[in-house]
Amino acid sequence: MKKIFSAPNSAEAHLLVEALRQEGIAASVQGEWGSLEGPSVWIENDTDAERAKAFVAETMVKRNPAATPAQSRGHSGVFVGGLLLGLILGALIAGSLGFRLPPNSESSSPESWDLNGDGMPDNWARYDSAGRLVESSEDRNFDGSPDSWLTYDPPGMLTMGRYDEDFDRREDYWVRYEKGAPTSYTADNDRNGVVDEWGRFENGTQVERNWSFSNDRIADRRVFYRAGRKVREEYDRNRDGVFEETVLLDEFERVISRQ
């Protein structure tokens, strides 16, 4: 046996195991109870290791770049886990004919699955008349209500993700995708219904983040990234729309200069 993935929680671990099994890879969850490291996914045959790791990497949409903003917002476990759940669910649904509706029939209500076996549905999917996945949603904390909603284009690529990061049944994090990779995001960090953070991605990697501390969409702080590393910060301390302070950082994100 060989360990290939450390999961943020048991639900993600079991869902990944099911996805691997549909790929013909025998896998199991270890360390759910009494382990300091938490749940992890192990494959039965070491010869499947490279194929399993490649499948996980592909499922996480090119290094899971959308995790970056959520990590810095303090929700890495929830957001990354939720994104992984959605992507694996999409792979499960889109990759299994048993989950597709027959051609020329359209579901008036979503199909649902109980993936953690608690007797309550926790994942839903809706298809178009050709049996193509168009929407999916997930209940990531298993409280009976969805807290993540994904929208797909006809080829089955993600176009929009809407998330309830604090599980209060209100959306507070939104990500736009092109060809399955994130291009921009907005967030409502203080949960008052007004966007106070936004940013953009290039080639699936985050390059810019902005914050408005007064909820007026005027950026008070802006951060630029290169290859996932913070390289420059800008501040508008008097809120006149002009960044009067610039901070440059080195490869270890240490301050080089202030201008």
Q: What is the pLDDT of residues 4-57, one digit of tens each?
A: 887 766 656 777 887 888 788 998 888 755 555 667 888 898 888 888 887 876
Answer yes or no: is pLDDT of 256 > 90.
yes
| Confidence category of residue 221, pLDDT binned at 50, 70, 90 | very high
Side chain identity at residue 140, one-letter code: R
Q: Do residues 207 and 232 touch, judged by C-beta distance below 8 A? A: no
Question: Collapsing DSSP states into helix, strand and coil, what is residue 15?
Answer: helix
Residue environment code for 27-37, b if the CB has 16+ CB neighbours within 10 A, otherwise e: bebebeeeeee
The β-bridge partners of 223 are 209, 233
Does the predicted TM-score (pTM) go above 0.85? no
Q: What is the pLDDT of residue 211?
A: 92
